[in-house]
């Protein structure tokens, strides 16, 4: 039986820390504030917005939701982002993506001030992960993977980590964050040869591909730590990860469940970035 790396204790530990930090910000007359920018009514966005609102409220973080019609153009959204950049009482911005095709997503992302880019969407934020310093934050999911590993005290120094998936929101940034912690990282993707063999040879496997239960026990070996970032739905509508939990869990040393793993830690990490942005804004961090 593998150790279950559940998100709940990580979320609870983060909440204890964040409540103290929010109280300290209140003492400085600062209400940490998140702007949520949504274009249209995509069910995924609405669901994440509800979760974020609940988590923010429980931590004492204010949220301002800004909603545009799905027919909005690049200029309209640019005006909203510009207003957020200028508004000193807003510390972080969460922009739901993908944006409708009528909007130039790259142009919009780069308009956001890196100081308020709590989800690592600007090129400046991504560059700061590579350089190891800068104003932005890592994408919340990539940062959540690191929080999960740290909470469960998984040794990273010298560990061989195979990251499956190379998107800008998860695979690439998480690989850089792991490198910065002295892990040896192998990046894999859809054209990787002998993927199962590479995965079996790792100490830690991070799966972020979006393939529902796409990786079975043939890809894993005894004692490994498996971080399943995937949030997928099977043919019956059940949420599942990228890893076939039922066959892999008996084989490996530790594994994150889906649901109940990285997903909830991601929401808390977003809130942690808002609090840190507010602290930075008044020189507390
Ligand atoms: P993308 O579609 O942007 O990227 C998927 C990556 O997986 C690509 O790099 C792709 O390779 C790789 N891939 C696809 N098929 C294979 C394969 N057969 N073998 C190896 N690699 C493969 O997805 P995201 O990064 O946005 O999301 C990945 C997963 O994470 C999804 O399930 C998503 O729902 C979930 N997610 C979870 C979050 C959380 O909070 N837990 C937050 C955000 C996303 P290539 O580049 O070659 O095409």
Looking from the CA of residue 241, the nearest atom of ligand 1 is: 32
CA of 218 to the centre of ligand 1 (A): 20
CA of 155 to the centre of ligand 1 (A): 25
Looking from the CA of residue 169, the nearest atom of ligand 1 is: 25
Instruction: Judge if pTM exceeds 0.95.
Output: yes
28-116 shares its CATH topology with 140-263: yes
Yes or no: domain 28-116 corresponds to CATH 3.40.50.1220: no
CA of 209 to the centre of ligand 1 (A): 3
CA of 31 to the centre of ligand 1 (A): 35
Binding-site residues, ligand 1, Cβ < 6 A: 141, 164-167, 169-171, 188-192, 195, 208-211, 229-232, 262-263, 266
Name the CATH topology of 140-263.
Answer: Rossmann fold (3.40.50)
What is the rounded CA–CA span in Å between residue 223 and residue 3? 10
Domain ranges for the chain, please list them: 28-116, 140-263
Q: Kindly report the backbone phi and psi dihedral angles of residue 249, in degrees, each rounded to the nearest multiple of 5, phi listed first.
A: -55, -40
For 22, the token pair is 């929010």
Instruction: Give, for ligand 1, the residue of 97, 210, 218 to mutate: max count of ligand atoms closer than 8 Å to Cβ.
Output: 210
CA of 25 to the centre of ligand 1 (A): 36
Predicted confidence at residue 285, as pLDDT, reads 84
What residues does 65 pair with on adjacent strands? 36
Please report, in tens digits, the pLDDT of each residue of the chain (285 residues total): 899 999 999 999 999 999 999 999 999 999 999 999 999 999 999 999 999 999 999 999 999 999 999 999 999 999 999 999 999 999 999 999 999 999 999 999 999 999 999 999 999 999 999 998 888 899 999 999 999 999 999 999 999 999 999 999 999 999 999 999 999 999 999 999 999 999 999 999 999 999 999 999 999 999 999 999 999 999 999 999 999 999 999 999 999 999 999 999 999 999 999 999 999 999 998
Residues 6+ apart with CB under 8 A from 11: 264, 265, 267, 268
Helices (H), the chain: 7-27, 43-59, 74-86, 105-111, 123-131, 140-151, 171-180, 195-200, 245-248, 262-281
What residues does 35 pair with on adjacent strands? 64, 93
Instruction: Give, for ligand 1, the residue of 6, 11, 165 to mutate: max count of ligand atoms closer than 8 Å to Cβ.
Output: 165
CA of 263 to the centre of ligand 1 (A): 14
Query: First vs last Cα of the chain: how many Å apart?
Result: 41
For 31, the token pair is 């209400």
Predicted confidence at residue 133, as pLDDT, reads 86
Predicted confidence at residue 134, as pLDDT, reads 84
Residues 6+ apart with CB under 8 A from 8: 260, 264
> Is the Cβ–Cβ distance between 132 and 179 less than 8 Å?
no
CA of 187 to the centre of ligand 1 (A): 12
DSSP 241: -
């Amino acid at each position: 039986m593998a150790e279950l790396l559940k998100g709940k204790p990580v979320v609870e530990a983060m909440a204890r820390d964040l409540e103290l930090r929010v109280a300290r910000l209140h003492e400085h007359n600062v209400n940490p504030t998140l702007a949520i920018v949504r274009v249209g009514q995509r069910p995924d966005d609405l669901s994440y917005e509800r979760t974020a609102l609940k988590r923010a409220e429980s931590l004492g973080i204010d949220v301002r939701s800004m909603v545009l019609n799905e027919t909005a153009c690049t200029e309209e959204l640019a005006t909203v982002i510009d207003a957020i950049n200028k508004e000193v009482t807003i510390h972080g911005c969460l922009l739901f993506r993908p944006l409708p095709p009528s909007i130039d997503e790259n142009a919009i992302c780069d308009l956001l001030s890196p100081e308020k880019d709590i989800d690592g969407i600007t090129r400046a934020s991504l560059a700061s992960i590579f350089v190891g310093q800068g104003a932005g934050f890592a994408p919340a999911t990539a940062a959540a993977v690191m929080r999960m590993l740290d909470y469960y005290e998984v040794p990273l120094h010298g560990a061989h980590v195979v990251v499956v998936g190379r998107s800008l929101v998860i695979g690439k940034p998480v690989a850089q964050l792991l490198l910065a912690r002295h892990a040896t990282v192998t990046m894999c993707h859809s054209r990787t040869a002998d993927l199962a063999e590479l995965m079996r040879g790792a100490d830690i496997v991070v799966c972020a591909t979006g393939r529902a239960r796409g990786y079975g026990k043939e890809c894993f070996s005894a004692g490994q730590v498996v971080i399943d970032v995937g949030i997928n739905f099977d043919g019956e509508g059940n949420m599942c990860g990228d890893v076939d939990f039922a066959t892999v869990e008996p084989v490996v040393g530790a594994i994150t469940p889906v649901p109940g793993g990285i997903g909830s830690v991601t929401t808390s990490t977003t809130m942690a970035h808002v609090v840190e942005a507010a602290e930075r804004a008044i020189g507390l961090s």
